[in-house]
Amino acid sequence: MSDPHHTPHPDLPFTENDWKEFHREDVKAGRAVVVLMTAIFTMGVVLYTIVMTAVLF
């Protein structure tokens, strides 16, 4: 028995290759975020060390 209020879903707007490309782009963007966060953290540690050294010595 079918539901008279149920409408069939349209086809997905993206192909399987599109989804794979989205996934690859997401992984690439995630890596870029990690690299940038690591660089910012490292610069902060270097600057903190410079200031600490200038204050203590």
Q: Please give the Cα distance from 9 to 51 (Å, whole number).
A: 61
Per-residue confidence in pLDDT tens, the chain, 57 aa: 566 677 777 778 899 999 999 999 999 999 999 999 999 999 999 999 999 999 998
User: Domain residues of the chain, as ranges?
Assistant: 18-57
Record the tokens describing residue 44, joined without a space: 């902060």
- pTM for the model stands at 0.68
In the prediction, which pLDDT does 11 show? 79
In the prediction, which pLDDT does 6 show? 76
Q: What is the DSSP string of 1-57?
A: ---TT--PPPPPSS-HHHHHHHHHHHHHHHHHHHHHHHHHHHHHHHHHHHHHHHHH-
